Amino acid sequence: MVNKKMRIGFIITARMKSTRLPKKAVLKINNKEIITILIERLKKCKKIDEIIIATSTNSQDDILCKIAKREKVKCFRGSEDDVLQRLYNASKEFSLEYILNITADCPLASYDICEDIIDHYKKTDADLITTYKLPHGFFIYGIKPEALEKINEIKDDKKTEVWLRYFTDTGMFKVSDLEIPKELIRKEYRLSIDYIDDYKFFQKLFEKMGPDTHFKSTKEIINFLDKNPDIVSINSHCEEKYKKRWEKQNRMKIK
């Protein structure tokens, strides 16, 4: 059981390179970049010591560090393809004892569940905490840096954009899925930006719900979508396409 006061960072994994929706992290809604919307939302998290954009050393990602500076959060630059190494190195750079993580694809990630993840970690000491019962785009990971260090020692692949199997299939790590209130479980809702219709979904959501949508709670957004199925339908077909790609990339190579 973990009881001590920990230094906790929220690391946003982000790069400008995207074949499905180019430069999606800086696409704008109400004149704000997608990643800026996420940063503003995460600033509502309790118990977070740092918010960090973890991007690559490629010059195309310079803009992400400029945004980080403007928004008064940190920026870390590391491997282009090895996300696990980048996450671990960022945790070391900022002396983090625990990590919350999501990609910049999820501008409405559930800030209001951060404290629940931290409390769950203190009770379970799990290497990875998932929140998969939330709709795609709301969920957040809780990760022990020590687990990342161990994976980086045993893996034999530098392409780790999709890394879940290193936690679930090696038998070396404790993985725990956080229990989610039933009123927040909506498998049919998609709040991640990977395709143009995802972007259209967010444009319509912010148009109808208001420019302060990203300051609303998870429950408030879900309740709004419950009453507006026409918005949900804009990108509902994208989830199947996304899952097929994710499964293809969810590989694992061990030394």
Share of the chain above pLDDT 90, in %: 89
- Say what percent of the chain tops pLDDT 70: 98
Query: According to the 3-state scheme, what is the secondary structure of 176-222?
Result: EECCCCHHHCCCCCECCCCCHHHHHHHHHHHHHHCCCHHHCCHHHHH
Q: Does domain 8-249 correspond to CATH entry 3.60.21.10?
A: no
Each residue's pLDDT tens digit, 45-65: 989 999 999 999 999 999 999
Q: Which run of H or E residues covers position 115?
A: helix 114-124
Domain locations in the chain? 8-249
The model's pLDDT over 153-182, given as tens digits with 9 standing for 90+, comes to 999 999 999 999 999 999 999 999 999 999
Q: Residue 141 — pLDDT band, cuts 50, 70, 90?
A: very high
Alpha carbon distance 247, 245 (integer Å): 6
What pLDDT score was predicted for residue 1? Answer: 56
Distance CA 167, CA 136 (A): 19
Confidence class of residue 2 from pLDDT cuts 50, 70 and 90?
Answer: low
pLDDT, residue 80, reads: 94
pTM: 0.95
* Element at 132 (helix H, strand E): none
- At residue 20 the predicted structure's pLDDT band, cuts being 50, 70 and 90, is confident
At residue 118, the pLDDT reads 97
Looking at residues 189-203, what average pLDDT do you find?
A: 97
If we measure between CA atoms, which residue out of 102, 72, 99, 73 comes closest to residue 88? 99
Name the residue among 73, 7, 8 with its Cα closest to residue 40: 73
Of the CA atoms within 13 Å of residue 65, those in its CB half-sphere come to: 13
d(CA 60, CA 37): 20
pLDDT in tens, 110-127: 999 999 999 999 999 999
Q: 173: burial class by Cβ within 10 Å (0-12, 13-18, 19+)?
A: middle
Phi, psi of 12 (to 5 degrees): -95, 115
H/E stretch holding 52: strand 50-56
Contacts 24+ apart (CB under 8 A), 228-232: 231/201, 231/204, 231/205, 232/188, 232/189, 232/201
Residue of 100, 88, 91, 124 lying closest to 3 (CA atoms): 124
5 or 131, higher pLDDT:
131
What pLDDT is stored for residue 82 in this prediction?
A: 96
